[in-house]
Amino acid sequence: MTAQTLLEKIKLQTRPEDELALIKRAYEFAAKAHQGQTRKSGEPYITHPLATASELVDMRLDSPTIAAALLHDVCEDTCHSIEDIRKEFGDEIAFLVQGVTKLDKIRYRGTERSAESLRKMFLAIGEDVRVVLLKLVDRFHNMKTLGSLPPEKQKRIALETLEIYAPLAYRLGMAELSGRLEDLAFPYVYPTEYEWLMRETKETYAIWERYTASIKPTLAEELIKEKIPFLEINARAKHYYSLYKKLLRYGMDVGKITDIVALRIIVPTIEDCYATLGVIHKLWKPLPGRIKDYIALPKPNGYRSLHTTVIGPENRQIEIQMRTPEMHEEAEYGIAAHWAYSEMKRRDTKAYAQNRSSLADLKHFSWIEQIREWQKEFKNPEEFLEALKIDFFKNRIFVLTPKGDAFDLPEDSTPIDFAYHVHTDIGNTAVGAKVNGKMVALDHVLKNGDVVEILKQKNKKPSRDWLKIVKSAQARKHISTFLKHSEEDKKFEKRGGETVEFNLMIRDRVGLLRDVTHLLARHKINIKKVDTDTKNQKWASLMIHAQKFKNKTEVEKMMVRLKGIKGVEDVSYKLL
């Protein structure tokens, strides 16, 4: 990829001259800044920003994002600062560059610090999703040249890609990019399994590609005969890592996998999708239960398409997908496609500034708001990381209320998970459920599109056994909180008074300890122990062991009073 090739590609998209000039200026600035630098592969460094920008052009992202892609390593690897970028290119591009620079500092190793770093990435999504799109494409190109790095670094970066970046791309609706990231990481994380798969499936892929090529003419001929317009019919080969994950569920038997290569038909309209389905079923017998209508009920990441599996010629099962060009664009580029469509409708920079984070408000990306809520709810970074692995990085299903409201849940969720996603009180008082009008147990596994009604009982309480049943972090958190509070209530009931440790996060000042102890003394609370922790330079922690609390209400009232003291920023407690 050269600068000239990039500019030619951009010109084909008929962007205004001022945008072309901006991108050209960004390239010249980056080329000069990176002059003389090379990558570990030996290539000139500028090839990396050019390749990143080229991918974003393919996604039809806006010109400030493409300019930021060209500049994204300037602050990190050259003598230029973010202020130089701001002065030369303005606030918007500086914001994007700075956002990517911050994400570059994330190092995923499963530790508390890593979990805390991941919060930054999800905050970035909420603030401006373009930062994360740029980072994903940056990672994609870096993965292509991973072979030039030392083995231990290869493994760490590949694992980070497999566990964080690829699932994130998928949840943003970018299935193709997600698959490509997984395939690039696969040989570094699971080298033995990768070699086995390549050896075992090489001929299988070739056979399926020949088979799909042989039936395309028959299908095209039938569509023409029925006067159903189509734009293209092509074959889609399954990504290697995706195939490996599926083989794990099928005892590693390649012969049981029927969608190694699928046919994909692009048609002009939604009506044509369903008409094409009718033609296919007239040609070849459909397999019962294998028609998937993701147009009527899209996947939680926004994916729309119509799928069917039929018994084709030679008695072979084959999957065929039907979608419109818009659906295809969304399936390839996800949230980036939505951004591109909205930008095509409004080519003006004022709208940019006003709508920069508007993508976060799209209904099928409402999980972005859920991530924000998690950041408040899961204050322990390791709990936050665990919640991501359970809820965010797993396959999702849509489940409906009787009124038609849709809830996005992890795969294999139960009615209890659903109840807690609707409302905490509904979860706490659940006694049973109806799924599609039939009574089911609370451990029933929900399927995509199920209509669920929760049956409640006023004095019902969550059971500890529910923790073994639920699949979502949200439900587990609410159940654990309820059980913890119930246990505390029982402790207060058993004895005449309880010792409590208050943990105060404070901004230290003269007289603060005196004010805290005076408050406790005024309410006849006996102080057993006082301790401090000043490791954090910005905050100090004050731990107080206090006796004679008769119930939880007294403790909570004291927490409110303590928060009212000047310099006390937060108060938590635990029973001793």
Instruction: Give the residue from 117, 148, 174 where a domain finishes.
Output: 174
- The CATH number linked to 232 is 3.30.460.10
Instruction: Identify the pLDDT of residue 111.
Output: 41
Domain co-membership, 316 together with 226: yes
Crossing angle for the helix pair 82-89 and 63-71, nearest 10 degrees? 150
Instruction: Identify the pLDDT of residue 104.
Output: 64
Whether 467 maps to a domain, the answer reads: yes
pLDDT of 294-347, one tens digit each? 998 887 777 899 999 999 999 999 999 999 998 898 888 777 766 555 554 444
State yes or no: pLDDT of 128 exceeds 80: no
- DSSP class of 59: T
DSSP string, 457-485: -TT----TTHHHH---HHHHHHHHHHHHH
Domain co-membership, 65 together with 138: yes
Whether 375 maps to a domain, the answer reads: no
State yes or no: pLDDT of 226 exceeds 90: yes
Domain with 569 in it: 495-575
Whether 304 maps to a domain, the answer reads: yes
* For the chain, percent of residues with pLDDT exceeding 90: 31
- The CATH number linked to 518 is 3.30.70.260
Domain co-membership, 319 together with 446: no
Whether 490 maps to a domain, the answer reads: no
Whether 253 maps to a domain, the answer reads: yes
Whether 55 maps to a domain, the answer reads: yes
Domain co-membership, 143 together with 47: yes
- Residue 66: which residues within 8 A CB-CB, separation 6 or more? 10, 23, 26, 53, 56, 57
* For the chain, percent of residues with pLDDT exceeding 70: 81
Domain co-membership, 206 together with 311: yes
Whether 80 maps to a domain, the answer reads: yes
Domain co-membership, 17 together with 104: yes
Average pLDDT for residues 227-232, to the nearest whole number? 94
Q: Where residue 40 falls among pLDDT bands split at 50, 70, 90? A: confident
Whether 566 maps to a domain, the answer reads: yes
Instruction: Give the residue from 292, 308, 332 where a domain finishes.
Output: 332
Domain co-membership, 223 together with 116: no
Closest C-alpha among 368, 374, 396 to residue 386? 374
Domain co-membership, 26 together with 162: yes
- The CATH number linked to 104 is 1.10.3210.10
- The CATH number linked to 406 is 3.10.20.30
Number of domains in the chain: 4
533 is an active site residue: no
Closest C-alpha among 96, 92, 59, 70 to residue 2? 70
Domain co-membership, 152 together with 197: no
77 is an active site residue: yes
Domain co-membership, 39 together with 158: yes
Domain co-membership, 282 together with 209: yes
Catalytic residue among 8, 28, 43, 76: 76
Catalytic residue among 8, 28, 43, 77: 77
Q: How many CB atoms lie within 10 A of CB 42?
A: 8
Q: How far apart are CA 251 and CA 59, in angstroms?
A: 38
Domain co-membership, 109 together with 243: no
Token pair of 412, please? 């294999």
Instruction: Give the residue from 314, 332, 350 where a domain finishes.
Output: 332
